[in-house]
Structure 1
Amino acid sequence: MNRVNSIRVESGAWVCFDHPDFRGQQFILEHGDYPDFLRWNGHNDHMASCRPVGMGMQHGENYRLEIFEGCNFTGQCLEFQDDCPCLPSQGWSKNCVNAIKVYGDGAWVLYEEPNYRGRMYLVERGDFRSFSDWEAHSARIQSLRRVVNFF
């Protein structure tokens, strides 16, 4: 089965992919109802694999994320502990992010467009030296938010 018309997430957060083996475009689904694919995808009704996000995450942990202008953690750096609907409004002068460090047991969703729109990418604890490390097609990131997990 790779076509899905509606989804109900009763607990936790899930990252879903439009290709098997956790590949392809990512969609992050949190607690709630998604009555049609436009609510969770916006492009089509394909879903071929999914997995829970951060099974060991604790709600209320000290989440922290650092973004870097250049690959390998070079150039301008900015730290976040809360959601950011528009990176330029926080002083980020570029329309791209080339490296990221995620601290704590949190997970973050990166969006290509401001206000949590466009392609999304999940990053969990660890170092991401290049946008290809989070399986993005480009370094374009304009907004980000924490995943609130209820496991």
Structure 2
Amino acid sequence: MSGKIVFFEGRNFQGRSYECISDCSEITSHLSRCSSCKVESGTFMVYDQPNYTGQQYLLTRGEYPEYQNTIGFNDCIQSCRIVPVHKGPFKMRIYERANFEGQMHELTDDCDSIQDHYHISDMQSCNVMEGYWLMFEQPNYEGKMFYLKPGKYRNLKEISSDDTRFNSVRRITES
């Protein structure tokens, strides 16, 4: 089974709703705003801007009656992307510098502090070979998060609007 998320215009699941079972680049084309949601199945990345941009947050099965306290969004969710279920091993190579240069380390598990475990001050590029991952700006999986699907990321500074440094990485194992 894939995923299903239901968005509501008002807080606490009030007002009109929109049911989504795939990626949606602009929720406001279906609702005037989105202030609460229920994830009935699957895992979703939600974004506070259209077209999968802005702040990101991973939502697993459950109810989210309002965003300010539960996920820290100041406004509403404006786009969402379903995270596919990954069966099998996870594998990512991280690099100290852009364009896959400098020290390289291969990850197959979560890492709560890239600096402490691998002694590199910054991770500037990566190659996600297997699985879906979340990168965080702070150690211990805190701060802004960024969704990574399989692919090559030559310059991680391009995926954040500011000068974010990435300090921890976690596999997305929820289904």
TM tier relative to shorter chain: 0.7 to 0.9
2:56 equivalent in structure 1: 26
2:89 equivalent in structure 1: 62
Contact 1:30–1:148 at 8 Å: present in 2 too?
no
Aligned length: 142
Give the counterpart of 2:116 among 74, 89, 107.
Answer: 89
2:135 equivalent in structure 1: 110
1:147 equivalent in structure 2: 172
TM-score (norm 1): 0.83
Q: Secondary structure at the match of 2:116?
A: helix
Q: Secondary structure at the match of 2:99?
A: helix
Contact 1:112–1:143 at 8 Å: present in 2 too?
yes
> Which is helix-richer, 1 or 2?
2
Change (3 A) 1:148 1:88: same
The Cα shift of 1:23 comes to 1.7
Which residue identity lines up with residue 46 of structure 2 in the other structure?
C
Name the CA distance, whole Å, in 1 between partners of 2:169 and 2:126: 12
Name the CA distance, whole Å, in 1 between partners of 2:155 and 2:168: 17
Measured against aligned partners, the alpha-carbon deviations of 1:62-113 in whole angstroms (never above 9, x if no partner) come to 111111011110001111111111112212320x211010012x11000001
Q: Which has the higher contact order (CA 8 A, sep 6+)?
A: 1
Q: Secondary structure at the match of 1:115?
A: helix
TM-score (norm 2): 0.73
1:138 partnered with 2:163: yes
Moved over 3 A (4+): 32-36
| Structure exhibiting the larger radius of gyration computed from Cα positions | 2
1:100 equivalent in structure 2: 126
2:150 equivalent in structure 1: 125
Which residue identity lines up with residue 39 of structure 1 in the other structure?
T
Contact 1:98–1:139 at 8 Å: present in 2 too?
no
Name the CA distance, whole Å, in 1 between partners of 2:62 and 2:103: 37
1:73 partnered with 2:100: yes
Contact 1:131–1:138 at 8 Å: present in 2 too?
no
Change (3 A) 1:8 1:71: same
Q: Which stretches in structure 1 are left out of the alignment for 5+ residues?
A: none
Measured against aligned partners, the alpha-carbon deviations of 1:92-144 in whole angstroms (never above 9, x if no partner) come to 320x211010012x1100000111111110010010000145x2233501111
1:39 equivalent in structure 2: 70
Q: Which stretches in structure 2 are left out of the alignment for 5+ residues?
A: 1-31
